[in-house]
A and B are shown apart, each in its own frame.
Chain A
C-alpha cells in the first residue's frame, strides 16, 4: 500500500529529515530487517542480495565472531561454539528446555536464564541475539547511510514477560532504540491486511522454527484488534527436525554422540524435511565423523512423525476460538505465516479445521518483518494522518501467589494492553509488618505450575490485627506487553514497587558495562554517539512542543505560555552544548513542564472524538 506523505503545519519533515525506522523479525532459524521506502515496505538485503540472515552466531578464536551464513556453514564442524536457535533459550532456565541433552552445547545452568559455554566464555542467549540484531542494524544503517531512529521488534504472541524482557535487553545491547515490541501474528496481519485491503475477522496461524502462535484479529479501517491469542512458545519446525533425526538414527540402529554428529543429524533432517515439501521421497544423509549414514524417508513417514506435534497446534486453535467465543465459520480467512507452514500437511490440517482453504499468498518468511516495518514507520512519525492502530492483548494471565501456593489472577489473558488492574490483599497474622509479593504468569491454579516472574517485599506496614491492613497491589502492562507491579498499604501509605525484571537480572549497569566492553563491534565513540542522540532527542522534543503550541496554544493561559516558552528557550540553548547529561536533564525538565499541557490537549482530543461521533449519527 502506498502511503501518502502528508505534512501538517509545524511538523513538515522534509524528506532529508525523515527518521529511518525499521522492523526486525528476530526469528528462531533466521531473522530479517525491513523498512518502508517510497511508501512501500520491503525487506533489506545484505551486500550479496540475501534478505534472510540465519540466526546463527559462531564464536571464533581471538575474540572474533561470525554471524549468519558463515556461522551456519560451520554449525556442524564447530557445533559447540556455533549458537543456532537461541531464541528457544531466551528468558529460560535449563530446566525449561526439553531435550537439551540432544543439543550439541555445554549448557551452564544459571538462575532465570541458562548460558552456553563457548571458547569465548559463557554466552547468554541475550548476547547471541544482540549479535544478530546488531548485524541487522548495521545492514539497515548501510542501506540508508544514516543512523537508525529506532526499531519495532517482533516477538511470538505467546512469549511471556521474561522472554519479552530478554528480547528488549538484547535490542538495547545491540544499540537499538526499541519503538515497540509487537507480536509476530499481529505484524503479519498488518502487512497482509493492508496489502489486501482486508476487513473482518482473520486468523493468523504462525508456525516458525521454534514457536507457534495462533491469533484471531478483527481488521477494520486501519485498526488491527487482537481478539484472542494462544500458542506454544516451545513448538516449531525444529521439533519436527528433532523427531525426524531421532527416527532416522533409530532406523540406522545408532545414536549421535558428539556435538558434531548431533548437529549433522539435525541438519540432515531439516534438508530431508524441506525436500519432502515438494517431493514424495527424500534421503536423510548424515556424514558423521567416522561414517556416513543414509536412510530413505517418504513424505508419509515424515507426516506420521509430525502429526502429533501438529495436533497440538490444532488444539491451541480450538482453544483460542473458545476463548474468543467465536466459531470457525465466523473466520473470514486464515493467513499462514512461518517457514514451517510450507509443509503440505500443515496446510491440509489447518484447512480441514477451518473448513476453508488457507491463504498462502504471502511470503511466510517476510510478512512479519514487513508488518513491523509499517508499524515502525508510523511510530517514527513518518506517516501523519495514517489510521494504523494495533490493539494487542496479553497472551498469558498475570497473578500473585496467595496462601497455600495458589494463584490469584489479577490480569486475565486476552486483556487488551495497555492495561492496569488493582487488587486488595490483607495480612494474615497479628502485627505483621511486611508482606512478600510473588508475581507469576500462567493459567494454572498452582504457583508451582506457573512461571515465576518476580518477588519483592512491602515493608514498614504498621502493626495491626490480622486482616486489618489493606494492601493494594497494582499491575500495569505497557504497550510492549511488559509488566510493572506496585504495592501500597492504603492506611499508612507505605509503598513498594518493581518493574518486573526477570530473575536473570540483566540490570541497566550490566548492559552499560557490556556496551562499554565493546560488545557491538566497530561501535566507535560511545560518548559522541550519546551526545548526538541527546541532541537529536532535544531537537525532537522542541519540535513536538512547538507544533503542539501551534495547534493548541489557546489551551494555555498567558502565564503558562511564558513558562513553556522559557523552557523551550533553555532547552534549545543547552542543546548547543556538548554535555549529554545536561541536555538530557533539560529535555526531562521540558517534559515535566509540559505535562499539564499534554493532558489538556488529550482531554480536548477525546471531546473532539465524541463530538465527531455525534455528528456522524445526525
Chain B
C-alpha cells in the first residue's frame, strides 16, 4: 500500500464506476482509524508527519470517490481519456436547450416552492445522466462517451449549486 496508489487500490475497490456508498464510507472510517494523526498523538513528530500525509491522502481519495462525477472523471483519466472540461465545451444542442430552459425557470421562480420544484427536476435529470454514465463506463466500455457525459454533468452540478444558492437566499429571508 503506497501513497501513490490509485484511489481504487487504496480503498480496495474494483476499477469501475458503480459502488456501494455504505461500503465506501465504512472503508474510509477503517482507513482513518489506522492513519489519523490522533492515533499517533504520543509517538513523536515523525509519526505525526507521516500520519498527516496518509490521512490527507485517504481523505483526498474519499472526496473523489464519493462524488459520482469526480469518480467518473478520475476513471476516464485512468483509462486514457482525460475529461479536459476547460478546453472541451461542445455540448449536444438538446442539452443546451434544456440548460437554457432551466436558467429561465430559475430567473422566473417567484418563491421557495418554485425553486424547490426546479431543484427536484434537476436532481431527477442528474440521476438519469448518472445511470447512463455508469453504463458507459461499466457495461459499454465507451470511455469517450463517458467523458462527454461527465462534462454534461459538470454543467448540471453547477446549475444545481445555483439553485441551492437561491434556496439559501430565499430561506434566510423568509
Contact = CB atoms under 8 A, between A and B. Distances in A.
A535 to B, nearest CB: 15
B46 A592 contact: yes
Given A591-B46, A595-B46, A602-B47, A415 B59 contact: yes
B41 A390 contact: no
A318 B12 CA distance: 35
B26 to A, nearest CB: 9
Interface stretch (B31-39, B94-102, B103-111): B31-39
A598 interface: yes
Given A416-B59, A418-B55, A603-B2, A609 B46 contact: no
A548 B56 contact: no
Contact of B51 (A322, A602, A607): A602
Interface string A537-564: 0001100110010000000000000000
Contact of A312 (B33, B34, B167, B172): B172
Contact of B52 (A322, A478, A544, A597): A478
Contact of A607 (B1, B30, B44, B62): B1
Interface in A567-618: 588, 590-592, 594-595, 597-599, 601-603, 605-610, 613
Given A416-B63, A590-B44, 18 more contacts: A180-B38, A223-B32, A315-B174, A389-B29, A391-B36, A421-B60, A478-B52, A544-B43, A598-B47, A598-B49, A599-B50, A602-B35, A603-B2, A606-B31, A606-B35, A609-B31, A610-B1, A610-B12
B171 A179 contact: no
B36 A389 contact: yes
Interface residues on A, range: 35 or more
A420 B35 contact: no
Contact of B56 (A378, A387, A418, A544): A418
Contacts of B63: 415-416, 419
A609 B56 contact: no
B116 to A, nearest CB: 10
A225 B32 CA distance: 11
A380 B42 CA distance: 6
A223 B56 CA distance: 17
B59 A381 contact: no
B31 to A, nearest CB: 7
B98 to A, nearest CB: 23
Interface of A: 179-180, 220, 223, 225, 312, 315, 318-319, 322, 378-381, 387, 389-391, 415-421, 476, 478-479, 540-541, 544-545, 548, 588, 590-592, 594-595, 597-599, 601-603, 605-610, 613
B35 A416 contact: no
A277 B52 CA distance: 46
Contacts of A599: 50
B43 A548 contact: yes
A140 B174 CA distance: 47
Interface string B1-32: 11000000000100000000000000101111
B1 A540 contact: no
B44 A591 contact: yes
Q: Which of B32, B41, B55, B171 is packed against the most chain A CB atoms within 10 Å?
A: B41
8 contacts: A319-B168, A389-B29, A476-B56, A478-B52, A595-B49, A605-B34, A606-B1, A609-B34
B74 interface: no
Contacts of B54: 602, 606
B44 A315 contact: no
B164 interface: yes
Interface residues of B, number: 39
B90 interface: no
Contacts of B174: 315
8 interchain residue pairs of minimum CB distance: A381-B42, A595-B46, A379-B41, A609-B34, A598-B47, A591-B45, A598-B46, A544-B43
A290 B140 CA distance: 85
A588 B44 CA distance: 10
Contact of B39 (A389, A420, A591): A389
A123 B12 CA distance: 54
Contacts of A608: 34
B42 A540 contact: yes
Given A315-B172, A381-B41, A613 B50 contact: no
Contacts of B27: 613
B171 A319 contact: yes
A180 B38 CA distance: 9
A577 B44 CA distance: 21
Contacts of A417: 59
A511 B73 CA distance: 47
Nearest to A382: B42
Given A416-B59, A418-B56, A420-B56, A603 B1 contact: yes
A585 to B, nearest CB: 13
Contact of B29 (A223, A318, A415, A540): A223
Contacts of B50: 595, 598-599, 602
Contacts of B41: 179, 378-381
A318 B56 CA distance: 29
B32 A391 contact: yes
Contacts of A595: 46, 49-50
Contacts of A478: 52
A220 B45 CA distance: 29
Q: Which of A220, A418, A590, A607 is packed against the most chain B CB atoms within 10 Å?
A: A418
Given A379-B38, A540-B42, A609 B62 contact: no
A541 B34 CA distance: 21
Contacts of B171: 315, 318-319
Interface in B58-110: 59-60, 62-63
Contacts of A605: 34-35
Contacts of A416: 59, 62-63
